[in-house]
Amino acid sequence: MPKPPENWLRAWRMDDAPMLLAAAQEPSLQQQFVQPISSLDEAEKWIQDRGADSAAGTAHAWAICGENDEALGLVTVSHIEPRHSTGWVAYWLLPQARGKGLAVRSVRAISRWAFDELGLFRLELGHRVDNTASCRVARAAGYAAEGIERSRLRYGDKRYDVERHARLATDPEPGEVTGRNGFPGRS
């Protein structure tokens, strides 16, 4: 696993499995997991798979951490396509970690890292159009809105439109964001 781009990001560890299991049960996060996580064994497998993805160079995922190094969320660049120099950015935070600037700082950090270290040129992300908080994160992290993908996602019997955003390596850096306590890195 490559070195994370900032001190509040780190590789996932097996002792994060209980947090990951709890996150997978959180109603606002359940749809973030492609494969359901309903046991500690499944959470540990998810963590192992993130390491394998990184070793293969297809994705790099870090835990977003609080002041005591506790995992509070995820930021990842995945679907890395070397031929086109593109990747897909995703992120989520536990409810108690939201609203502190962690998601914005983490998306900015992984974006700059993907441009500088992986040599990617274009990064994309998407969110349900009813997820206004995620839209704010995308815009604050320098991702321009590019359009709506109609009925892109299906959760149960309901379909959702997705707003697509992208950031290019040549785009200007977005402004500085600080947490509620006034300094970057830890909130």
Q: What does the pLDDT look like over 22-44, one tens digit per residue? A: 999 999 898 888 888 999 999 99
Q: Is residue 184 over pLDDT 50?
A: no
pLDDT in tens, 53-109: 999 999 999 999 998 999 999 999 999 999 999 999 999 999 999 999 999 999 999
Question: What are the chain's domains?
Answer: 9-168 (3.40.630.30)
- Helical spans, DSSP H, in the chain: 17-25, 40-56, 102-116, 132-140
Q: Is residue 186 over pLDDT 50?
A: no
Q: How many CB atoms lie within 10 A of CB 102?
A: 26
List the single range of 17-26, 168-177, 178-187 with lowest mean pLDDT.
178-187
With CA atoms as reference, report the closest residue to 173 among 110, 108, 102. 108
Token pair, residue 136, equals 């704010």
Global confidence as pTM = 0.89
